Amino acid sequence: MNRLKEPSTWAGIAGILGAFAPLSGPAAPWLAAAAAAAGSVAVALREQAPKGQAKK
């Protein structure tokens, strides 16, 4: 579950949804909106330094 706190996870989800949106027909607007929401989560989250490494 810690993976859900990483921005790269949400960016990946946004990319996948965005790639499938044009191919999905009537679900395209919903997938595009979900991709935008996932991208917003990715921007809002901070990258976490691995445990044991100090932030610079």
Q: Tokens 């330094």 label which residue?
A: 49
The owner of tokens 């909106």 is 33
Residue type, 17: L
Q: What's the one-letter identity of residue 26?
A: P
pTM of the predicted model, to two decimals?
Answer: 0.77
Euclidean distance between CA atoms 21 and 40, whole angstroms: 17
Identify the three-state secondary structure at position 51.
coil
41/56 Cα distance (integer angstroms): 24
**19-53 per-position pLDDT tens digit:** 999 999 999 999 999 999 999 999 998 776 666 66
Residue 3: the pLDDT is: 85
Counting every residue written for the chain, the total comes to 56
